[in-house]
Amino acid sequence: MEDRLNRLRKSMEKSTFKELSFSEKMRKEIHKQINMPDESDDVITVAILQLLFHEKTGYELTGLLRSRGFKVFDDNEGSLYTMLHTLEQKRLIVSCWNEEGAKFYQLTDKGRKYLRRSEKNSAAGRIVIKGLLEE
């Protein structure tokens, strides 16, 4: 990671941020932020939508999100159902009950479009950052 930060610094020295310098405290904070998992609502929403191409229960979603490294639901699984309800209200997903009483969630066409748009924007952002780090 140190090498990537050095490349970023060199790139920035050539640009409008010529006077920028990193203190040791700032360097540690940057490392901390880089290594911190991103569990913002937007990132979690995209992960949920990606998992709902095929119908799943909330229980299945919880396990799959944990396997992707999301820890936000570890102590509060009910918050997942709040997010699912919100996504349902936005018509990005639909739910249905089966004969055994299990509730399943699945992506709608609107949800697929939203997901494609979000993934495209995210990919574009990663390409810009990667370019900066590789200079």
94 vs 125 pLDDT, higher one: 94
Asked if the model's pLDDT at residue 133 lies above 90, the reply is no
Comparing CA positions, the residue from 60, 66, 49 lying closest to residue 106 is 49
Same structural domain, 32 and 45: no
Total-model pTM: 0.63
Kindly tell me if the per-residue pLDDT of 32 is higher than 60: yes
Range of the domain at 53: 41-119
pLDDT one-digit tens code per residue, 34-50: 665 556 778 888 889 99
- How confident is the model at residue 90, as a pLDDT? 95
Indicate if 14 and 48 belong to the same structural domain.
no
Residues 107 and 52 in one domain: yes
Asked if the model's pLDDT at residue 28 lies above 80, the reply is: no
Residue 67 domain flag: yes
Q: Same domain for 64 and 107?
A: yes
Looking at the fold, whether 62 and 113 belong to one and the same domain comes out as yes
| pLDDT > 90? residue 66 | no
pLDDT the model gives residue 70? 83
Residue 31 shares a structural domain with residue 53: no
Angle at 61 between CA 123 and CA 45, to 5 degrees: 35
Do 45 and 73 lie in a common domain? yes
Closest CA to 66 of 56, 74, 77: 74
Structure tokens at 9: 């610094």
- Is a pLDDT exceeding 90 seen at residue 122? no
Are 102 and 78 in a shared domain? yes
How much is the pLDDT for 55? 94
The pLDDT of residue 24? 82
Q: Which CATH number fits the domain that encloses residue 99?
A: 1.10.10.10
Q: How many domains does the chain have?
A: 2
Q: How confident is the model at residue 77 (pLDDT cuts 50, 70, 90)?
A: confident
**DSSP class of 102:** -
- Per-residue pLDDT at 48: 92
Assess whether pLDDT exceeds 60 at residue 16. no
Q: Is 10 in the same domain as 66?
A: no
